[in-house]
Amino acid sequence: MSKLQLPRTLFPLSALALATSLMASPALAETLSIGVQGELASFDTSQVSGGVWESQVLMDVYEGLIKQSPDGELLPGMATKWEVSDDGKTYTFHMREGAKWSDGEPVTAEDFVFGWQHLLAPENASKYAYMLYPIVNAEAINTGDKAADTLGAESLDDGKTLKVTLNHPTPYFLQLLTHYTAYPTPKHLVDEYGKDWVKLDHIATNGAFKPVDWISQSKISVEKSPTYYDADDVSLDGVNYFTVEDRNAGISRFRAGELDVLSDYPSSRYQWLTENLPDATHMSPMLGSYYYVLNQRDGHPTNDKRVREALNLAVRRNVLSEQIMAGSFKASTAMVPPGTSHYEAQHMDLGSDDMNARMAKAKKLLQEAGYGPDHPLNLSLRYNTSDEHKKIAIAVAAMWKPLGVNVQMVNSEATVHYQTIQQGDFDVARAGWIADYNDAENFLTLLHTGVGNNYGAYSNPEYDKLMDQAAQTQDLDAREKLLEKAENVALDDYAFIPMLTYVTRNLVNPKLEGWEDNVEDDHPSRWVHFTE
């Protein structure tokens, strides 16, 4: 962990000195400016669309039972300590005394129970609700089969203790609690304002910062929360999150000093950046997969396994990695990226490395599926607005062209893109997944029947059975084998098009401390400060 800036010691001041100090204080304010890729869907965590940029904002204004250090270490958050039962199924959290919402109301265990029930409520249609499924009755509540008050989470001792009961031991449960799906919700505000609790003139948050301004498609501003229990050790006065979908424009803004951090700069600029901004240019390993979703709903050509296999065979992943993306991604033939804890990387069977042989097989498969010169395969390919995504889409469309595939490309800003593909309005769609926690299950759940982020509606009973078995297996080696077997079922179904694995790419003001590279690319502003 980087050394944190300590609060300045205050000394008695004369009236003149005090006035001078107050007049000068705005100039001393430290506000961090971050260029993010998209816009936050809502400060209500049940309505979040799943973008990495949303996580950045939410981790700054909320805090879960557990928080993370700059390098990803788990630390006490709203809970100061906890115990786990011998069977690994019961967690008892002791709430932090004096923890408050930004409106001064206490944060209690009841806010967590209510927040989780709120996220699981069927009417909220949270596509991230499955993250809480390890908790007893969470899935049944989410599907409307059981009442909210049956959730295996209890507020005890007048809100000072939270007892959580799981369906089965869950190795990643503590890591999961750092994710925004496990944040609390201010019950007192929901009771008073209903859905309007999230409006800026009503909202209260429990993190190091609180939201104060939101200009749609432009900027969200937050300021340091004086009620945060560690406010004295938070150096920043505020954070601005600027929506910067044009990443090249983002580089210009960074160079002009308008941004202190730019997340995910274009891979094509990496070499130039290392030569011109060497101290600011960061690249490091990351647990993330870049893939294309194949819609398997009725009426879509990608519902045919032969079509899915043909499309996979024609993709030249090394060309995408080395030529299109200039080596800033790694080629991939699986969903779970290399380096994932307690997991051996798997690979889709694409047969020969000889592209001529692969293309010949792909053409044969499409002919068998009924496609040819008189009946060409027409596909819609959706991607969220980005020069990088556009380059990849154009390249992939060109790889499919010799098969007689006609591609209509449709792009939209990130929030709209993910909302659209969740509704199933596509044949092929760009998607990416960055680990919420370092476990293969976090990636493989994306292909489980009924999961909100299973955009292609892939469904295989054998896959689901293996995933469900893995979820109930305490032995880590046996669990790993089940997860690997499940991934191979999906790979054999050509359920999606794996293409690339991510690396983190950030521009960071060299004067910042407390901002550290990590495999999940999480950077809570609570730890960040400017050096003199």
> What is the residue type of 158?
D
CB 431 within 8 A of CB 403: no
- Given this model, what pLDDT does residue 155 score? 98
CB 235 within 8 A of CB 70: no
55's tokens: 């996580």
- pLDDT tens per residue, range 91-140: 999 999 999 999 999 999 999 999 999 999 999 999 889 899 999 999 99
The number of angstroms, rounded, from the C-alpha of 69 to the middle of its chain's C-alpha atoms is 17
Q: Residue ranges of the chain with pLDDT lower than 70?
A: 1-29
- Given this model, what pLDDT does residue 452 score? 86
| DSSP secondary structure code for residue 143 in this structure | T
223's tokens: 């300021």
230's tokens: 């560690």
- pLDDT tens per residue, range 234-292: 999 999 999 998 999 999 999 999 999 999 898 889 889 999 999 999 998 789 999 99
Q: State pTM to two decimals.
A: 0.75
| DSSP secondary structure code for residue 166 in this structure | B
- Given this model, what pLDDT does residue 532 score? 74
Residues 6+ apart with CB under 8 A from 309: 362, 365, 494
Residue where the block lists tokens 């390890």: 134
CB 119 within 8 A of CB 46: yes
In the three-class reduction of DSSP (H, G, I as helix; E, B as strand; rest coil), residue 439 is classed as coil
What is the phi/psi pair of residue 124, to 5°? -85, -15
Give the separation between CA 193 and CA 183, rounded to whole angstroms: 19
Residues 6+ apart with CB under 8 A from 320: 329, 331, 392, 395, 396, 499, 500
CB 224 within 8 A of CB 207: no
- Given this model, what pLDDT does residue 82 score? 98
CB 407 within 8 A of CB 427: no
The number of angstroms, rounded, from the C-alpha of 530 to the middle of its chain's C-alpha atoms is 26
CB 223 within 8 A of CB 240: no
